[in-house]
Structure 1
Amino acid sequence: MQEKKKEKERILILGGSGFIGNSIYKELPPYFHVRATYCKQHGLFSENKIFHQYCIEENSTFLLLNTIRPTVIISALTGNYESLLKVHREIADYALLNQNCSVLYVSSSEVFDAKWRYPSYENDVTLSESSFGKFKILVEKLLLEKVPSQTAILRLPIVLGINSPTIFHLRQCIRHEATFEVYPNLVVSATTINKVCQQIHYIINQSLHGIFHLGSNDMIHHEDLFREITSKIGDNMPIFKSVFSSNEDRYKAILPKTNKLPRQYQITVSEVIEESSLNEEIASVK
């Protein structure tokens, strides 16, 4: 009975044409009724009846939500911060009126970018000095205050994997012997897009709420991470440009602690490196 109920969930992915949103979209349709949004005209999406054109500055969020009537809203939107804040207020208002609706918000490790002495955990107080991090904190607080029992905050670290933009850029730098920036004193956690999608699928299936750090259980220096991936890809190297922001280690790592998912939905840095360094023939098939 539980599985039949979950199959009937109506999921709306806001930002379904972006890297993260589109990857989530590819994971869920075999199991749920899924709809997604795209903004700019693109034949790939405009010809797909599952996708709805929706631009946060132009279209009505209220109309979209009341047309689709989602029971799960996944927000992976990007855009103007003022417009995005308005959209998330409307999402919270919709969830308030529809108590069976869950909101999954894709957030970031940047909510801790002003706290660099130690890694950060789910219940740590957020503090950011960047406009991006401050915006993410605003939306997190909005959702947790208005619909706390219906909200899942999904904080992501560096997201890699064979088809990720960062690994694609690294491969291009290797191919053309171009410059790739690394940060020797930056300690990070990481994950892959495949693992993130599996984790989100599990969170929806189990109707989980709260704050989740969807990153590796361990950490690595930024430079070491990309040097190890590069060495596994092949013998050629890009031109690594070391960027130092301080003379001591700075942590930009989020670790799961109080809201750990089951072991099969966890990941380690070594697994991130392994998956991100798969050969391009495999990458093109994925």
Structure 2
Amino acid sequence: MIHLICPNPAIDRTLLVENFTAERPNRPYEVKEFAGGKSFNVAYAMDFEDASVPYCIHTILGGQNGEYLKELASTRDIQLDKTDVEVNTRFCNIIVDTKASKIYPIYENSFVLDALLLDKFTKQLLNAINPQDTVVFSGSLMKGMPDNYIAQIQEQLKGQNIRFFVDTSGSALIEAYKGSPEVIKINDEELGELVPDHTFNELEDYAQFLKSETAAPISYFIVTLGAKGVIAKLNQQVYHLFVPPVQAKNPIACGDFFLGGLVKYLTLGHLEDIDVLKKAVSYSTANVLNGFPE
């Protein structure tokens, strides 16, 4: 089972408009609503194509919006492990101006994650995880979680042969890195936070780091480089993949779709490592060519 960690979900409403302006009412020509949060986007990518892998999203929901998010997830057969909160689940609006190629994300604040709710969520998560399962942390830690929250989960599951995927930043990344997760997927800025003593100007700088003793404990170490593509250490091999530039319609969630493809095909295990990376890149690229997370 793959456990996707998403304590801070939202109902994502994406609105497609033309020539967004403050001078007159803006009327979207298409609107779609999705169960949202990074782990949900990862799940949408994992559900693409025929082969499937079992997964569950661990989340915190409340109020009528929480019930609606459950309905949205149910329409896609997404299994939820839900912790209840009294506060209504938030909405996030993503306005996409398809004429000007501009994105306006408007995100509501979330509930306050206090110590009691965090403890309840964590106990429920740990009780659901079995030996040899996979745990995926994507995105920043929720406010109220300690910087070493991922590291705490790693420590409590030590010895159970759990496969960890980590896609986060800042102090949470630094702490999780100490636990040597099997997979780290970050961007170039996040790499700079992880190893501030290193300088990365050329592709060779990234390649040398990935070949170094510092990166050695991480079996799959992937660094996305924006327009320069992605450079990755997959076991002992280092690869650089580059996709010709595309006209992005909506770049939101492209990193999540990359991670979803990576998790899915590493779990299935029937592709060579380089082909898994190609799948992840293609999923990310396909997502930016759509107005919605699809």
Compute the TM-score of the two structures, normalised by the length of structure 2.
0.44
Which structure features the higher share of strand residues? 2
Higher helix share: 1
- TM-score w.r.t. the length of structure 1 is 0.45
